[in-house]
A and B are shown apart, each in its own frame.
Chain A
Amino acid sequence: MSSLPPAAEDLFLRPRSVLLERIVEWTIRSSAFVVIAALVLIFVFVGKEALPILTSSAVHEEVDLVRMVAPLESGGFSWQPVSTVPKYSLLPLFLGTLKVTLVALLFAIPVALGAAIFTSEFAPQGIREVLKPVVELLAGIPSVVVGFFALMVLATWLQDAFGLLLRLNAITAGLGLAVAVIPIVYTVAEDALTAVPQVFRDGSFALGANRWQTAWRVVLPAAMPGVFAACVLGAGRAFGETMIVLMSSGNAPTVSLDPTESFRSFSATIAAELGEAVHGGPHYHVLFFLGAFLFVVTFGLNLAGHWYVGRLRDKMQGKSRLASRGGGR
């Protein structure tokens, strides 16, 4: 405030402005509080609806944790919540979620990182200014549109190209999912790469390195914390994304890691079945249990990512205890 001219300083001290400032401050503070409260309440609600799986004896007549994880009495694992003898094995859903997430990340991370490195290290100014907003625009496409595209167009292309037996499988869904994941990984990674100080690049060029060597051996390692955070965020998105997977997975809860087979994910199961499940029944609580599981996994992934990024950053700045003791890498 001291740098302001005297007239402006008076303005700040006038009582009416002080009051206004209070109001603005409280508005901002309470909106921040609302966001946190909403998050906590969602978690409490989901947790409350999931809890009977562990505690309620009425639910236990039909399903409990052991029966969800262990093989069925009839042998094998299956997810058939509305058959005469309801079966609630989590394994098919888990494998389905796992394989579509892996396929999506396998496509999305190389493409997104490649694009990010190109944008920050190689693209001329003009192209850079167009490329970044355009890729970020991808994130704005409603996932139902991407799902529709995967279902109607991508599935046919892939079937024709690779002679697949099933149109809807983990490759189709994974590619569709990659469209949703790429913008996230790209944006965060590109920011991290651009934030690497120019002095590192200069130092590398001055030793006779070319752009490739500089990007790969200096800029990328220096941006590693941010690049890693980008990948974790992308994984979280892939794990929780619902609509694209629901539309293009085939929704068959198979026990298979084969990416050319149809599958079903946790998120798609909740979306497809919650509307039909009897309110307060075992099926209803199982679906909430899945929801709580998704919540915990994504939260854990972000938390672990955050912690690891902090550690990496300390190490990059030479602050880690490991470094000061002179330990290895």
Chain B
Amino acid sequence: MSTSAAASASAVGIESKIRARGLNAWYGVFHALKGITLEIPARRVTSVIGPSGCGKSTLLRCLNRMNDTIRSFRAEGELLLDGADILRETDLVRLRKRVGMVFQRPNPFPLSVFENVAYGPRIHGERNRGRLAEIVERSLAATGLWAELRDRLAENALALSAEQQQRLCISRLLAVGPEVLLMDEPCSALDPVATRRVEELMQELKRDYTIVIVTHNMQQAARASDNCGFMWLGELKEFDETGTIFTRPKDPQTEGYVTGRFG
């Protein structure tokens, strides 16, 4: 499974951005991740699918240590970002600058569009108005929002449509210059048209960023991702190129899930 994916990835000369080996995680006594081993290739879209409660969101939140706020949470094993250990990283600010996250429900701050995008650079010490304006324009342009919102920068972000809000959240992330974008069901609050636009955006963004997306929506995984992992009860059952997962899965449970027999 994962070894074959790693092999195929290295065979075509794709560098891996994130590497997990024997990653285990617990919430109290609940064993949420069981020996996850995978390699997430750089500048591609990697999706993780599986039924609710299978641990896919937990896996995602390990990658930028968002579970640290949960007191009973504990993770062990090896999880490397460009060879550096994520789990033993002490500088969370630096880690989260490199590995940003987009959430299930769009969560722009109740500030203006400009302040939302400028928030990240500001907290990381950028005070120069000119440079901030430049970063805001560039980040909004990268998600296609600049054309729509250039005259509405002072407007409260909560007045935007859900889809614009989600793209704003992605812009907000891009403004701090991350390398990896984690997306936790980014389209589940959006309608099909908005979903397609976000998926197209992911295809554009993968030229510069490594994207990991967790989704309930198998069609979305099939359409938008290059690699795909199937999780079941805390285990990564299969990890391979997306086409292989959906057409020639090796694991019978994966096959059952992607063909819709359960899940």
Contact = CB atoms under 8 A, between A and B. Distances in A.
Contacts of B110: 200, 221-222, 316-317
Contacts of A217: 119, 122-123
Nearest to A197: B107
Interface stretch (A246-254, A282-290, A321-329): A321-329
A221 B64 contact: no
Interface residues of A, number: 29
Interface in B89-132: 92-97, 100-101, 103, 105, 107-112, 119-120, 122-124
B155 A206 contact: no
Contact of B158 (A202, A203, A210, A317): A317
Contacts of B123: 207-209, 213, 217
A206 B100 CA distance: 6
A45 interface: no
B111 A326 contact: no
Nearest to B111: A221
B112 to A, nearest CB: 6
Interface in A266-283: none
A208 B156 contact: no
A127 B20 CA distance: 37
Contacts of A205: 66, 69, 96
User: How many interface residues does chain B have, given as a range?
Assistant: 35 or more
B109 A222 contact: yes
B66 A203 contact: no
B120 A327 contact: no
Contacts of B155: 318, 323-324, 326
Contacts of B160: 318
Interface string B120-157: 10111000000000000000000000000001101111
A218 interface: yes
B172 interface: yes
A13 interface: no
B109 A327 contact: no
Contacts of A209: 93, 119, 123
B154 A329 contact: yes
Contacts of A327: 154
Nearest to B149: A326
Given A221-B109, A324-B159, A207 B154 contact: no
A208 B177 CA distance: 11
Nearest to B122: A217
Nearest to B104: A199
Contact of A208 (B103, B109, B176): B176
A326 B152 contact: yes
B128 to A, nearest CB: 18
A315 B103 CA distance: 23
A218 B123 CA distance: 11
Contacts of A200: 107, 109-110
A319 interface: yes
B173 interface: yes
Contacts of A326: 151-152, 154-155
B5 interface: no
B169 to A, nearest CB: 7
A197 B158 CA distance: 14
A323 B100 contact: no
B176 A318 contact: no
A204 interface: yes
A200 B106 CA distance: 10
A313 to B, nearest CB: 10
